[in-house]
């Protein structure tokens, strides 16, 4: 694990942190001038750039009013998570615009939409983290501290809201855009969770003594060396010192489930699934709804073995061997009623409809206590709650759109038959 990938060998220079938003405001101002002075004046794009310029100025003159905090550029650190997040946006840009072009969507508008959506996603990810960890934020300025994080589902909801607003402004439908952007969400999940792993956040529950050695090695997070100058160990190490009796002298945390790698693999699997599903797409929104459901179910299961404290929790409090199997039954029913309708082969559809109930049995067997007094009571995490709601919404929407597509196909076939008969 390496929270800092490398340091840039720059000379000593104390850069006031308040200059940073001014720098970006200047760049957006140049974009505004370029759009207004070009031969084909684009007032909409100029307005969008102007909005971002205003946001940067707002941050500078309200949030960052004091000019005392500086950043020393000497050996400037490049953090693992930030690098992976940037890489995911770059890859997502090319993937999304490539698919948008293939689907005949207006490339320039989709490019601007991608940027607007990405900014909204980051804001949403931060807001949900703040809402689920209010105890960490006792001042307004602490909301913008870089020492705390983001929540993936907040990014999804923020990005969705941003896309809706942007597309409504251009009077374009959401679902075609959703179909081309969700593969980039899957690739982003695959990449950013590597950043989480290198940093050591979003870790899982401690492993048992008889767990595979390779899993125990992957799930051991270090007390960071002094060269990182971060003042503490990886989040797993710190939480185990504070809550599980790990001595401060320990060089590694207790071995835990490397849930970051699990979710990265889930992202890779989702990416493959979505790209394959596009080849069999019958209606707009089919790939979009498939992603919402499959990610929701995968995220819910992974949250069962997550142990990081900054996840938030919601009622009800039930025995874990009751709550989690019931939730997975809910996912299975939604799949059977809605999502599975995309599988045209009846025999394969029935097999998969049965297979989707297997996680219910597996989780029940793993979590079942030896007796009633040994039952462990748990609550839904914030992400599990959102996963359940989004699965229900995607299942209902999928069934509605699928029924419309089938009806349209039947009517079209009937029209063709009548035309052929009359001809």
Per-residue confidence (pLDDT) for residue 82, from 0 to 100:
85
- CB burial of 316-332 (b: ≥16 within 10 Å; e: otherwise) equals eebbbbebbbebbebbb
**Interval 77-88: pLDDT, tens:** 788 888 898 899
Instruction: Name the residue among 202, 187, 189, 191 with its Cα closest to residue 260.
Output: 202
Going by pLDDT thresholds of 50, 70 and 90, the confidence category of residue 57 is confident
Q: Where do the structural domains in the chain lie, given as residue ranges?
A: 79-411
287 or 405, which is more confident: 287
Report the Cα 388 to chain-centroid distance in Å. Answer: 15
Average pLDDT over residues 159-174: 94
Which residue's entry shows tokens 């990014």? 155
Q: Rounded to an integer, what distance in angstroms lies between the CA atom of residue 269 and that of residue 274?
A: 9
pLDDT of residue 189: 95
pLDDT tens digits for range 91-124: 999 999 999 999 999 988 898 899 889 888 988 8
Whether the CB-CB separation of 155 and 117 falls below 8 Å is answered with no
Other beta carbons less than 10 A from residue 107's beta carbon: 12
Return the half-sphere exposure (C-beta side, CA atoms, 13 A cut-off) of residue 284.
12
The secondary element (H helix, E strand) that includes residue 390 is helix 382-422
In this structure, what token pair is assigned to residue 80? 């693992």
* Residues 295 and 383: beta-carbon distance below 8 Å: no
Q: Strand, coil or helix: what is 225? A: coil
The pLDDT of 176-185, averaged and rounded, is 96
As a whole number of angstroms, the distance between CA 152 and CA 115 comes to 17
Cα 94 from chain centre: 18
**Statement: residue 421 has pLDDT above 80:** no
pLDDT value at 225 more than 80 = no
* Least confident span in 2-6, 198-202, 289-293, 417-421: 417-421
Residues 196 and 260: beta-carbon distance below 8 Å: yes
Confidence class for position 69, pLDDT limits 50, 70, 90 = low
Q: Is the pLDDT of residue 226 over 70?
A: no
- pLDDT at residue 64 in the model: 60
CA gap 363, 322 in Å, rounded: 10
User: What is residue 227's predicted lDDT score, i.e. its pLDDT?
Assistant: 58
257 token code pair? 């489930």
Percent of the chain with pLDDT over 90: 50
- What is the rounded distance in angstroms from the CA atom of residue 305 to the CA atom of residue 309? 12
pTM of the entire predicted model: 0.86
pLDDT in tens, 291-347: 999 999 999 999 999 998 777 788 778 999 999 999 999 999 999 999 998 888 899
Give the residue from 327, 329, 331, 333 showing the smallest Cα distance to 380. 327
Mean pLDDT of 210-232: 82
pLDDT at 367 (0 to 100): 92
The distance between the two most distant Cα atoms of the chain, rounded to a whole number of Å, is 88
Average pLDDT value for the chain:
86
Cα(43)–Cα(112) distance, integer angstroms: 13
Provide φ and ψ at 371, rounded to 5°: -150, 170
Higher pLDDT, 27 or 67: 27
292 close to 393: Cβ distance less than 8 angstroms: yes
Q: How far apart are CA 308 and CA 312, in angstroms?
A: 10
Q: What's the alpha-carbon Rg for the chain, to the nearest Å?
A: 24
pLDDT in tens, 357-382: 999 999 999 999 888 778 889 999 99
């Amino acid at each position: 694990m390496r929270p800092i990938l490398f340091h840039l060998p720059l000379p000593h220079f104390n850069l006031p942190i308040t200059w940073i938003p001014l720098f970006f405001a200047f760049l957006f101002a140049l974009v505004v001038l370029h759009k207004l002075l070009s031969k084909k004046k684009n007032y909409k794009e100029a307005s969008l750039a102007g909005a971002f310029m205003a946001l940067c100025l707002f941050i500078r003159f309200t949030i960052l009013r004091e000019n005392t905090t500086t950043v020393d550029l000497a050996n400037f650190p490049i953090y693992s998570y930030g690098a992976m997040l940037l890489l995911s946006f770059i890859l997502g840009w090319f993937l999304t615009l490539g698919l948008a072009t293939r689907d005949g969507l207006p490339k320039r508008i989709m490019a601007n939409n991608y940027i607007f959506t990405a900014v909204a996603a980051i804001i949403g990810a931060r807001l949900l983290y703040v809402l689920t960890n209010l105890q960490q934020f006792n001042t307004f300025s602490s909301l913008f501290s870089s020492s705390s994080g983001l929540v993936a589902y907040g990014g999804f909801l923020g990005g969705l809201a941003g896309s809706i607003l942007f597309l409504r402004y251009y009077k374009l439908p959401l679902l075609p855009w959703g179909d081309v952007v969700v593969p980039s969400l899957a690739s982003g999940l695959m990449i950013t969770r590597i950043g989480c792993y290198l940093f050591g956040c979003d870790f899982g529950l401690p492993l048992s003594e008889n767990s595979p050695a390779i899993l125990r090695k992957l799930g051991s997070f270090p007390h960071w060396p002094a060269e990182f100058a971060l003042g503490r160990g990886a989040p797993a190490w710190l939480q185990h010192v504070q809550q599980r009796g790990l001595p401060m002298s320990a060089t590694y945390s207790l071995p835990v489930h490397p849930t970051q790698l699990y979710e990265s693999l889930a992202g890779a699997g989702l990416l493959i699934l979505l790209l394959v599903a596009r080849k069999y797409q019958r209606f707009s929104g089919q790939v979009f709804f498939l992603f919402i459901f499959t990610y929701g179910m995968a995220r819910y299961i992974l949250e069962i073995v997550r142990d990081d404290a900054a996840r938030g929790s919601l009622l009800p409090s039930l025995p874990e061997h009751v709550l989690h199997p019931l939730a997975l039954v809910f996912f299975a029913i939604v799949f059977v009623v809605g999502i599975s309708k995309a599988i045209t082969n009846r025999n394969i559809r029935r097999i998969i409809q049965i297979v989707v109930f297997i996680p219910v049995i597996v989780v029940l067997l793993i979590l079942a206590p030896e007796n009633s007094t040994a039952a462990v009571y748990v609550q839904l995490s914030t992400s599990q709650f959102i996963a359940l709601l989004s699965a229900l919404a995607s299942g209902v929407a999928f069934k509605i759109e699928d029924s419309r597509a089938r009806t349209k196909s039947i009517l079209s076939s009937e029209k063709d038959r009548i035309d052929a008969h009359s001809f």
